[in-house]
Structure formats: C-alpha cells, structure tokens
Structure 1
Amino acid sequence: MGKKLHLSDAGNTMLAATHEIYGILNQAADEIQQTTSATTGKIQIGFLSSVEDAAFDAFIAHYYTLHPDVEISFRMMTRHEIWERLENNQIDLAIMYLPDDTIKNWKPYDSRKIIDEELLYIHHDDTIAEDVPVRYQDATATPWVTYPEDYFLSHRLREAFKNELVDMPQGVAQFTTPYQLVQFVNRTGVNTALPTSFYQAHKNQIKAQANPFQPAINFELAFVYRKEKVDIPRIAAFFDEFNNYFSQQDYLSRLVANRVKLGE
C-alpha cells in the first residue's frame, strides 16, 4: 500500500509551494527593476514608528532636490508590518532596530548599520549622579510609561530585566511614539526608557534625567532589505547619496539640527 498523505503534510507542501512562487515573483520583479534608471522611479521605505524621523525627513527633502524624478514613499510601520512587507516585496528598504528575532530566516536579507544605539533610563531621581549606570532593581520604584508589549524596545527591556532576574516596573500607560512617551513623562513625573539618539536630540525639552543601565542595553538602527535590492540602480544611488549626506555631518548632528519641538 502507498504511504498515506496526512493533512498536515499536504498543508506544509502547499505552504512551501506558495513560498517558492512568491520567491520567483519577487526575483522577477527585482530583475526587471535592475534594468531601470538610477534617477527615475519609486522607492518604498518602511520606517519603524518608534524611531525619531527628523534626520530622515531632512535627508529625503535633500534627496528630492537632487533627484526630483525619484518618488520616495515613506511609511511609518510596526516591526511586524515591516517584516511582512519585506517578505512580500511591498517595500524596498526598511529602517529599523536590530537585532530583531521577528524573522527567523535571514538568508534573503542584508542590512547596513546607520548608528549604534543604547537605551537610557529616563527618570526624576536627582540623587543619581549624571552618567552613572543604574541597576535594574533601582529602576523599579516608580511607575513607568512604555511602548506596547510587541514593540522592539519593550521586548529588549523585558529581556534585560529578565536576564537580571528583576521584575519589570509597574506600567501605567503605553504609547507608540517617543514623542508621546516624553509628553506623558513631562506631565506626570513617571519614568521610561528612550534611545540615546532621541534623548540627545530633545534633552532640553525632556523634564527628566537620563542614565545608562547596568548592564547596558545596546542595539543598532539599520537599513534592512532583500539582497537583490542593491542591484537596482536607484536603490544603489539612494545609498550612495545617504552615505555622502551623513559623511558631511553625522547622523546625531543632523538629528539635533532638524529636531521637531515636542508638544506642551
């Protein structure tokens, strides 16, 4: 007798076939794009919504003055939306934090670091000296405002507290952008955690102190893309201009220069 095909086997076979078909279609689309011009067309960018965007807004405006026939589509997304659209070839580039374990198979992808980041403890305890690292158990006495639980920075915080065998601080509110977090901190006196770049760009508007954690919570901001994308002329030209722009003035300096005033 022949071997019976279980429903689970059939489902796995269909899923594998679907992925193969999507892979062929994506490759074909990229190969077509590789024959296009470096100075015309469209670039789809997915931008992590919890990242400060002022430096990128300024760069895209600069890029437009050089390449007015290249249309940039810049969309704020969650990290799960970003990975889904990368997988389906609906965006060309993602700007996000790494390392990210949302996707298990990195083989089709590559990344380019933009800056190194560190998560800072934002608080109102003026007995803590400036720049002194704060232990996790000392960061739990006051309630916190945080990102939603499925956001990258919330995930990194939970992992850091878990590794130190310390319970997460009491959460009293959740918001999806750093601007909202800071406005809540300023109005209520609760604590939070923010990337170094955002704090440095807005520290004069943040009514709280910043200290590193001990041990530190490090990560990076990076471009993520399918490997074939760099063979598309306008994507390669975009990267070249990005590197040139931030070599003239570094990312953090651009961020500070183009920062958006926080709401009152």
Structure 2
Amino acid sequence: MPKMDAILSSKSLHYFLQLIDTMNYTQAAQILGITQPALTQQIKKIEHAIGTPLFGQMGKKLYLTEAGKQLQVGAIKLLGTMNSVVSDIQEFTQADRGNISIGVLESVNCEWLQKFLVKFNQKYPDITINLSCFNRKDLWYNLDNNLIDLAILYIPDVAKKSQASLNNQYEQMKINDERLIILTHLANLEAGEAYPISTFTKQKWVAYPDGFFLTQLMKEKFESRVNIKKKLDISMSFSSTEQLVATAIATNYDTFVSHSYYQAHKNDINLTPVFLKDDKKFLTSIVYRKGKKDVPRVANILAEFKQFLPK
C-alpha cells in the first residue's frame, strides 16, 4: 500500500475537494490546470490508499460515497488548519500586519498615546491595536500570562515586582520621569515648592482607590513620617483622574496626581500644586516580556515608540 502521507498531501486533498465542487473531472482538471488523466490518477491513488471508493457514478453523474463524505469533512478541517498555521506564521514573521495588545495602568497619564497610535495606524494600517486599561493586579496578571504584548505602568512597582524580577523576566523602555504632585486648598503654600508630609496631616482627600500606585505612595509616606495613628483620610475615591481632580476642585478635599497629568491640564486646575519633601521618583515605562522583540510587529512598534517619544 502506498505511504499514506505521500498520498494524502495538501495537493491531493485540494484536487479531491475541487472535484467535489464541480463533480466533473474535465471541469475540475481545467480549474486545477492539469490534465483529466492526471486528476483521475490522483483520485485513484487516494482511493487505493484508503481502500474504498470516494466517488460513485449514476449514468454520467458523479456522487460522493459515504467514505468520500467522511474524507471531505476531514480534508476541509485539515486544510483549514494548515492554512491557519501558515497564516499565523506569516503574521508572526511580518512587521506590518497582525495584532498588538497594549495594557495601560489606569492612573497613568497616557494622553500622548492616542496621538502615537493614530500616527502608527496611518503608517501601518494592517496592524490592529487592542488597548485596555487595568488596575495594577490585573495588568501584571495579563502581562505574566502573555495576554498582552506591552504594558504601560509606573516603575518601580514595589507592591508587585522587585527590580531584580523585572530585570530577569522583562525588558522596559522609559517613557518619562514621574513625580507625585499634591493639589491642595491650603492657601499658605507656594506652588512648585516641596513640603513635609506633616503639612497635610489634617487634610481630607479625594484619591484613587486602594491598590492604585499613587495612593500606595501616599499611604507609605504617611505611615513612614507621621504618627502611625494618623492615616491618610480619604473621603472619596475615583479611578478616573478627571473625576478625581474635578471633585477636589468642587470640594475642600485635596488630591494627588502624577506630575505629567498636572502639566497637561494645569490651565484647568485652580488648586495649588506642591511636592512632598524626600518623595520617591519613579518612571512611566513600557514593560514587555523578554523575547517579545523577536516578534517583528512588536519590535516595529517599539522602534516607532522610541522615535516618537522625544517629540
């Protein structure tokens, strides 16, 4: 018996399915660009390999046997799988098409990102970008489990990943230096100056929810420099920076945001911006698993990021 893998090749299965489409050897052979005897011989080889007829004939009309029907189902699935695999491989190896998933930490100011993605899409219209916002826990889960290609977040993220872990498992690209800025109602403070945390112990706050990076920074600052009995007194919480700032402006509550957010919106904010003395500096970075740059489209978008950011 002929070797099964030699007989049931993608070409022979393609011939078989083409004959099913026309149920006519002459027409099928013409479409395939081969002679009718060559097509007939190929079908007979498949039937010989399987050990049963695939086609029957009533008068001049062909029909599929039960074996032929079963092979038809299998051939369609097999060729579909092969085509899908080839498509995936081609997509993986091409820099100008495919999908890229980006996760963004909810409190990160990424107004520049929309401008970048518009320019990137104009240059690479066949790359589909999927952008989602996450809290810190979900963002790391998606990054760890390869559900997103790139994450935009604050580094160091001391509540989740040590810098050593980041260096071992991930790579990162710096976007900009960051700093926490307090927006206060206190009239005796000068904009742009730095004050000790004790200045704000009597203030009430509108803040990001627990677990957000900036809220964590403020809580750590309170607990490390102020009597432990004095906690950060949060009256209202919002995950949206816009709602957070608008509520602070409409109440007597102070708030805190990233310096980059304040710089982008300072003309609309009538609160006094001040810094904390001895505060922690941090970065906004693009973080991705090691090996991601081996995917051409990911390497492509990172290269475009690098060119765009200085602008």
Question: What TM-score do the two structures reach when normalised by structure 2?
Answer: 0.67
Distance of 2:126 and 2:147 partners within structure 1: 20
Q: Is the 8 A contact 2:219 2:232 kept in 1?
A: no
Q: How many pairs does the alignment contain? A: 218
Correspondent of 1:133 among 194, 207, 213: 194
Q: What is aligned with 2:292?
A: 229
Corresponding position: 1:124 with 2:181: no
Q: Which runs of 5+ in 1 are unaligned?
A: 1-30, 250-264
Corresponding position: 1:180 with 2:243: yes
Which structure is richer in relative contact order (CA contacts within 8 A, separation 6 or more)?
Answer: 1
Cα displacement (A) at 1:140 = 2.0
Query: 1:196-223, CA deviations, whole angstroms, 9 ceiling, x for partnerless residues?
Result: 0000110111120101101123111001
Cα displacement (A) at 1:181 = 0.7
Distance of 2:189 and 2:147 partners within structure 1: 47
Cα displacement (A) at 1:112 = 1.3
| Pairwise CA RMSD | 1.8
Deviates more, 1:57-66 or 1:127-136: 127-136
Corresponding position: 1:59 with 2:116: yes
Distance of 1:43 and 1:160 partners within structure 2: 37
Mapping for residues 109-258 of structure 1, pairs under 5 Å: 109-166=170-227, 167-247=230-310, 249=311
Distance of 2:174 and 2:221 partners within structure 1: 22
Which one has a bigger Cα radius of gyration? 2
Name the SS of the counterpart of 2:211 in structure 1.
coil
Residue type of the alignment partner of 2:178 = E
Q: Is the 8 A contact 1:44 1:73 kept in 2?
A: yes
Distance of 1:243 and 1:172 partners within structure 2: 40
Distance of 2:305 and 2:212 partners within structure 1: 27
Distance of 1:89 and 1:147 partners within structure 2: 27
Name the SS of the counterpart of 1:199 in structure 2.
helix
Write out the 4+ residue segments of structure 1 that deviate beyond 2 Å after TM superposition: 31-35, 103-107, 165-169
Name the SS of the counterpart of 1:89 in structure 2.
coil
Q: What is aligned with 1:82?
A: 139
Q: What is aligned with 2:39?
A: none
| Aligned CA distance change for structure 1 residues 165 and 126 (closer, same or farther; 3 Å) | closer
Residue type of the alignment partner of 1:90 = L
Distance of 1:168 and 1:126 partners within structure 2: 23
Query: 1:144-167, CA deviations, whole angstroms, 9 ceiling, x for partnerless residues?
Result: 011111111111111122221343
Distance of 1:38 and 1:245 partners within structure 2: 18
Q: Is the 8 A contact 1:160 1:217 kept in 2?
A: no
Residue type of the alignment partner of 1:88 = N
Distance of 2:279 and 2:250 partners within structure 1: 27
Distance of 1:35 and 1:81 partners within structure 2: 26
- Structure that is richer in helix per residue: 2
Residue type of the alignment partner of 2:259 = T
Distance of 1:215 and 1:135 partners within structure 2: 8
Distance of 2:240 and 2:105 partners within structure 1: 10
Distance of 1:99 and 1:138 partners within structure 2: 26
Q: Which runs of 5+ in 2 are unaligned?
A: 1-87
Identity over the aligned pairs, expressed in percent? 32
Distance of 1:53 and 1:98 partners within structure 2: 15
Distance of 1:165 and 1:130 partners within structure 2: 23
